[in-house]
Amino acid sequence: MVTITLDAVDVALGGRGVVKGASARLDPGQMIGIIGPNGAGKSTLVRAMLGLTPLAGGAILIDGQPIERIARRDIAAKLAYLPQGQTLHWPLSVERLVALGRLPHLGPLSRITARDMAIVEQAMLRADVLELRRRSAIELSGGERARVMLARALAVGAPGLVADEPLASLDPGHQIDVMEMLAREAAHGALVIAVLHDLTMAARHCDRLLLIDKGRLVADGAPAHVLTPERLDAVYGIRALVQATGSTPVIVPLERIEKREPAS
């Protein structure tokens, strides 16, 4: 299991503050969605959690240890990462590409083992790409490629999984499949963090949502608590129908709200 603690985290890019004072504790056994408008700082925050973007202030702890004191390979073994918008340039087979997920567990000059390959096969099965194993990765459609990259992240076998926009390029059926699979990982004890834009998918499948606006964490809690009409107005600038189905809200954006300048 793995726990991430954010303590007043600041991140700056090009001298501009992108994440500002974010604090939260992310515990195993949860599926946590990070939501917010484009440019809010969601991807920057998750990259900071992975040690890929330096902090301008505050601290990030992984299992109580400051992230800057943890070797990159050790972070990769604890937190598998599925970045957004990956482009493939090498004609590897799908099976070989997914097997790259085992690299954090291999020593210098060591070879992949039968146990590693069994984990790779299970990852392909869970991501619904087993039938693609012999295909060249550069010949895949966008949706197939997204599922293969998810399989590679699963092949790490890490106690944590960070997925940045895992639903991009997927048809509705595979979007549901991926969200259900991520939720199962959390139910089995993993810490799952996903950057999401589909608010209804986030509400339906996530245990907890972190809402970020202009770099600040403005809401943190259960989906029904975070996704209120007032917050959707204030953060996204939209009027939306928020309808509860059981304990899960369904969000239907209706229109942009025209923001008026305050009277002078």
Q: Over pLDDT 90: what percentage of the chain?
A: 67
The secondary structure of the chain, three-state, reads CCCEEEEEEEEEECCEEEEEEEEEEECCCCEEEEECCCCCCHHHHHHHHCCCCCCCEEEEEECCEEHHHCCHHHHHHHEEEECCCCCCCCCCEHHHHHHHHHHHHCCCCCCCCHHHHHHHHHHHHHCCCHHHCCCEHHHCCHHHHHHHHHHHHHHCCCCEEEEECCCCCCCHHHHHHHHHHHHHHHHCCCEEEEECCCHHHHHHHCCEEEEEECCEEEEEECHHHHCCHHHHHHHHCEEEEEEEECCEEEEEEEEECCCCCCCC
The residue range of the domain holding 209 is 4-256
Looking at residue 261, its pLDDT comes to 52
Q: Above 50 in pLDDT, residue 264?
A: no
Q: Above 70 in pLDDT, residue 263?
A: no
Q: Is residue 34 part of a domain?
A: yes
- Cα within 13 Å of Cα(175), Cβ side: 16
* Total number of domains in the chain: 1
Please report, to the nearest 10 degrees, the dihedral formed by the alpha carbons of residues 27, 177, 162, 100 taken in order.
Answer: 130
Q: Is residue 98 part of a domain?
A: yes
How much is the average pLDDT of 179-191?
92
pTM, two decimals, is: 0.88
Q: Is residue 226 part of a domain?
A: yes
pLDDT tens digit sequence for 56-112: 999 999 999 999 999 998 999 999 999 886 677 778 999 999 999 998 888 776 788
pLDDT tens digit sequence for 189-214: 999 999 999 999 999 999 999 999 99
Cα-based distances in Å from 53 to 49, 76, 130, 163 = 8, 14, 34, 16
Structure tokens at 210: 């972190």
Name the more confident of 124 and 174: 124
Q: Is residue 167 part of a domain?
A: yes
Please give the Cα distance from 63 to 45 (Å, whole number).
Answer: 18
Written as one letter, the residue type at 79 is L
pLDDT tens digit sequence for 83-98: 886 677 778 999 999 9
Q: Is residue 261 part of a domain?
A: no
Give the CATH number of the domain where residue 194 resides: 3.40.50.300
Of 32-41, 51-60, 242-251, the range with the lowest mean pLDDT is 242-251
Q: Is residue 263 part of a domain?
A: no
Name the more confident of 54 and 145: 54
Q: Is residue 262 part of a domain?
A: no
Q: Is residue 166 part of a domain?
A: yes
Cα torsion angle, 213, 215, 218, 220, sign: positive
Cα-based distances in Å from 180 to 147, 173, 186 = 13, 11, 10
